[in-house]
Amino acid sequence: MAAVCMGEGIHWVGALNPNMRIFDVVMKTDNGTSYNAYLVRGQDKTALIDTCHGAFYDAFIENIRQVCPVDSIDYIIMNHCEPDHSGALARLLEACPGAKLLATQAGALYLKNITNREDLPIQRVKDGEEIDLGGKTLRFIAAPFLHWPDSMFTYCPQARTAFTCDFLGSHYCEPYMRDSDIAYPGAYQRAFKLYFDAIFGPFLPYVRAGLGKLKALDVDTVCPSHGPVLHRGCQLENAMEAYAQWSAEQKRGQLFVPIFYCSAYGNTARLAQAIAGGIRQALPDADVQCLDINDNDGARLAAAINTCDAFAIGTPTINADAVAPVWQLLAQVDAIHARKKPVLAFGSYGWSGEAVGNICARLSGLKCAVFGEGLKVCFVPSEQDIQRAGETGYAFGQAIAAGK
């Protein structure tokens, strides 16, 4: 797609990737994506905001050429350095050797390793700092963890336009760049929510902070780095309201402590019930649920493990390890939110019982607060084992209460 004028002196010069179906290995996209980059031209200077994925360099550079000579770019502003925005940077710098790179302190560090150049012409910018393009200024606004430590917004007050990189973006691709031209609004809304959940779900307090900074500006247009540009009176208000709702603090009156388990012959299931009884004794007001992993929907389990206050997880040992459904559930754990979360591992085994230790190691790697060494029982739990499981649950419940 050719360059698009988005307002006086502002052009979209990105590239479309309508065929992308998986982003960043983990995120499915039904509608492809766009890698948005913007040229902002003042009377004296020209700035390019973000670059694009390295595989789309040719389309990107052609769009720049439609607006201005590539070597006339004075500043390349890197709002965020993930390779979908920085992949074309090393080649671009060869085409405009006089350009100065502007990035946050964290961004400057990343860019050296992304380009493998120690001599990058980087100027580190601070929150609130501005550059003058002549009749237009660009102000940099720190936006850490939206969604990397390096992230920032760039704001042009004269154009009432904020360039927010991934924030308010979407993996959505139509051959238009304005929200008013979206042909399939339902598909766009789904893509917008999916993108929020996948990219910003782990960073909700930072989303609230970023929204606050954006609301404090006089903004009519938001130019994100993926998907349509958002305008006041069209999608912008809806998009900001959606972010506000999705990032709002959830106040739950009750502690939620699920007990996930797999059980081949009912032994680990009996331990789960005994542990649940102990937790309920220690935390009588808590919502304590035993969830057989094989009997529950994967999305429900993933939501439970990521929104709970603490959890226990049980597995038999088969062939010296935990069973696959348990590992699959643990692969869904959001490592950002799992830090310091109280967790307990347990399980019945026959020969050697490695599974509980292996799970504890995984949970420790996620920086959870792992409760002791877990609970292991050989074959069928005896009455004493059931009593021990109940006592372990009770002690775990007390530890949860002590941490609250």
Question: Can you give the binding site for ligand FEO, defined by CB under 6 A?
Answer: 80, 82, 84-85, 147, 166, 225-226
Minimum distance from residue 147 beta carbon to ligand FEO (Å): 6
Q: Which is nearer to ligand FEO, 165 or 269 (CB)?
A: 165
Per the CB < 8 A criterion, the answer to whether 343 and 366 are in contact is no
CA distance 310 to 338: 9
SS3 content of the chain, % helix, strand, coil (to 5): 40, 25, 35
Minimum distance from residue 164 beta carbon to ligand FEO (Å): 11
Q: Which is nearer to ligand FEO, 35 or 371 (CB)?
A: 35
Q: Which is nearer to ligand FEO, 82 or 385 (CB)?
A: 82
Q: Which is nearer to ligand FEO, 85 or 213 (CB)?
A: 85
Residues present in the chain in total: 404
Q: Which residues contact 190 (CB under 8 A, 6 or more apart)?
A: 30
Put residue 374 in one of left, alpha, beta given phi > 0 → left and psi -120 to 50 → alpha.
left
Q: Which is nearer to ligand FEO, 45 or 147 (CB)?
A: 147
Per the CB < 8 A criterion, the answer to whether 47 and 12 are in contact is no
Alpha helices in 124-203 (DSSP H): 185-195
CA distance 87 to 185: 30
The residue sitting closest to ligand FEO, measured at its beta carbon, is 82
Minimum distance from residue 115 beta carbon to ligand FEO (Å): 16
CA distance 60 to 36: 9
Per the CB < 8 A criterion, the answer to whether 116 and 105 are in contact is no
Minimum distance from residue 189 beta carbon to ligand FEO (Å): 19
Q: Which residues contact 314 (CB under 8 A, 6 or more apart)?
A: 259, 260, 261, 262, 263, 268, 269, 271, 272, 275, 345, 346, 347
Q: Which is nearer to ligand FEO, 36 or 392 (CB)?
A: 36
Minimum distance from residue 3 beta carbon to ligand FEO (Å): 20
Q: Which is nearer to ligand FEO, 140 or 195 (CB)?
A: 195
Q: Which is nearer to ligand FEO, 87 or 397 (CB)?
A: 87
CA distance 366 to 305: 13
Q: Which is nearer to ligand FEO, 86 or 161 (CB)?
A: 86
Minimum distance from residue 85 beta carbon to ligand FEO (Å): 6
CA distance 176 to 174: 5
Minimum distance from residue 165 beta carbon to ligand FEO (Å): 7
Minimum distance from residue 379 beta carbon to ligand FEO (Å): 49
Query: Which amino acid is residue 122, in one-letter code?
Result: I
Nearest to 210 by CA among 221, 200, 218, 220: 200
Minimum distance from residue 113 beta carbon to ligand FEO (Å): 16
CA distance 312 to 290: 9
